[in-house]
Amino acid sequence: MRVFAMTARVVLAGISHETNSFSSVPTDRAAFEASALVEGEALRTAFAGTNTEIGGMIEGARRAGFCLVPGLFAWALPSRPMSRALFDGLLDRIARLARDSAPVDGALVVLHGAMVVDGVPDADAAVVGAIRGAIGADRPVVATFDLHANLSPALVAACDMLIGYRTNPHVDMAERGAEAVARLADLLTGRRWQRAFRKLPLVSVSQTQVSADEPMRSIMRERDETVAALGLAGASVAVGYPYADVPQLGMAVLAYANDADVAAAGADRIAQAIWSRRDDFVPEVMPVDVAIAAATARAASRPGPVILVDVADNIGGGTPGDGTVALAGLLAAGAREAAVVLWDPEAAERACALGAGARFVGAVGARTDRFHGDPVAIDGTVVFAGRVHYRRSGPWMTGQLAQLGRVARIDVDGIHVVVTETRILPYDTQHLEAVGLDPRRLRFIVVKAAAGWRTPFEPLMSTCFYLDTPGAHAPDLSRFPFRSRPRPLYPLERDATWDGAGASP
């Protein structure tokens, strides 16, 4: 065994973007600056101790005795495809910093796996390619990806190992980052693995991808049992991100082992478990008025709020977060003690200028497009107005600073309309508490999310309903004008078949 552990120099870099091809939310430099556009030692300051891949990599590298050389990391919330010019600029910077770090022994790369860039066929693979080009093609590279990745053969081939999240809502980012460091340490001692990659003609949507629910619970258990039974070096499931219109759209399985046949057997076993449950990935949704009527009946009989999941306007999936169809439904139904958060910088600025106690008369929401409803006229009282920021105390991105910008709460006949300057992922309850709302005392909470809302809200809710609203993250995929996706894909093509054959990059 080579003695490297105390001296190995390892580059850490990446770009993480989940791209919604149907979104009108821009993916510009400001979008990255709003989430993360950090390089060098600032990366350590921003992420050390957080439940992120980078947090786990920093801690793992410390334990492994690696000399970690932070490069550039860029992360933006899901939104439309990035321009080639912006992407090339980020890639040049990543490559330059990696070259400046030479000589290095290997690299840790943080990806999402569902990034789309105008004019670049496989952007995630291009990120790994740029890093390899900078540090030397023979240096090992381990990359992490989000469970929602659309893995391609090119990306699989570009990495010595790819490691995906195993939870949804995602809570294992730091663990996967630490795992990436451990596998890179193996590679640096000279270990190499055979891999098997299986791409399924199957597309699934967010609400059927929750790891604690069926069918994902059984599938992830099959993954764990297969790893243990066959002694795999690693195995990941990618459930895919259905709103990225790319040839690699769909679910996939990846397995690593010392022996090629063992890797293939492992990947086949997990992939067959997914294919056999394909009907369970078809979602159930309710029209807004039906859901509100059912929620009203439920709210009267059980404590805790009813969560109305506006999955078509899932901010974490690349939508504006200003969709008004659920708010209009609540107003029409005369609902009380309901909270709706809308991304609306104009209304937030106006309400903040008016100040707490003032009357607010005007339209809110639907600033971005008509795909998510029409602006809704409200007449209410500004109850809270001001800038909001806090450290995240929930399980998602724990410890990270959340900057909400200007926020106002306008109460309209018992409906609390919260308008915000930045888009708020409802993955904690702090954004409601910050404006004086106790989520436990509300009867209805509209969340603009698919699965990430569950971690904070499931413990306190009475029940939940998924709404059938329009939007760039609508669960009915037949509404979308795909051009590049593979065909067939179950359930869009109900007669899709799969012979179990896999691409072998």
Residues in touch with Zn ion (CB under 5 A): 146, 148
Are 156 and 195 in contact, with CB atoms under 8 Å apart?
A: yes
Which stretch of DSSP H or E encloses residue 69?
strand 67-75
* Nearer Cβ to Zn ion (146/245): 146
Q: Which of 82, 118, 113, 94 is nearest to 38 (CA)?
A: 94
Would you give the distance in Å from CA 365 to the centre of its chain?
Answer: 23
Dihedral angle computed from the Cα positions of residues 150, 154, 159 and 160, in that order, rounded to the nearest 10 degrees: 110
Unique residue bearing structure tokens 């600073």: 401
| DSSP code, position 490 | B
Shortest distance (Å) from residue 177 CB to Zn ion: 15
Q: How far is the CB of 197 from Zn ion (least distance, A)?
A: 20
Residue type, 96: R
Kindly tell me which of 169 and 323 has the beta carbon lying closer to Zn ion: 169
The values of phi and psi at residue 465, to 5°, are -135, 135
Minimal distance in Å, beta carbon 147 to Zn ion?
5
Residue closer to Zn ion by CB (options 147, 267) is 147
Minimum CB separation from Zn ion for residue 169, in Å? 9
Give every CB contact of residue 427 below 8 A, 6+ residues apart in sequence: 169, 316, 394, 396, 397, 449, 452, 453, 455, 456
- Residue 115 makes CB contacts below 8 A (sequence gap 6+) with 15, 16, 17, 18, 19, 82, 123, 124, 127, 244
Q: What is the DSSP letter of 436?
A: T
Written as six digits, the tokens of 484 are: 């590049």
Nearest distance from C-beta of residue 458 to Zn ion, angstroms = 17
DSSP-based three-state secondary structure for 64: helix
Secondary-structure breakdown of the chain: helix, strand, coil percentages, each rounded to the nearest 5: 35, 25, 40
Residue 148 or 198: the one with the smaller Cβ distance to Zn ion is: 148
Tell how far CA 37 is from the center of its chain: 17
Based on CB atoms, which residue is closest to Zn ion, 209 or 368?
A: 209
Nearer to Zn ion, 148 or 423 (CB): 148
CB of 60 to Zn ion, least distance (A): 21
N-term to C-term CA, the chain? 29
Nearer to Zn ion, 242 or 380 (CB): 242
Pick 148 or 269: Cβ nearer Zn ion: 148
Residue 498, phi-psi category: left (phi > 0), alpha (psi -120 to 50), beta (remainder): beta
CB 85 to Zn ion: min, Å: 26
Among 94, 102, 96, CA closest to 124: 94
Residues 6+ apart with CB under 8 A from 337: 414, 441, 442, 443, 444
Query: Is residue 93 packed enough to be buried (19+ CB in 10 Å), middle (13-18) or exposed (0-12)?
Result: middle
What's the closest the beta carbon of residue 342 comes to Zn ion, in angstroms?
23
| Shortest distance in whole angstroms from residue 163 CB to Zn ion | 14
Q: What's the min distance (Å) between Cβ of 450 and Zn ion?
A: 9
Q: Torsions phi, psi of 16, nearest 5?
A: -125, 110
- Residue number with CB closer to Zn ion (169 or 439): 169
121 Cβ neighbours under 8 A, 6+ residues apart: 247
**CB nearer to Zn ion: pick between 146 and 268:** 146
**Residue 146 or 222: which CB sits closer to Zn ion?**
146
Instruction: Name which of 150 and 422 has its Cβ closer to Zn ion.
Output: 150
Query: Rounded to the nearest whole angstrom, what is the least distance from the CB of residue 192 to Zn ion in the complex?
Result: 29
Chain residue at closest Cβ approach to Zn ion = 148
CB of 453: closest distance to Zn ion in angstroms? Answer: 13
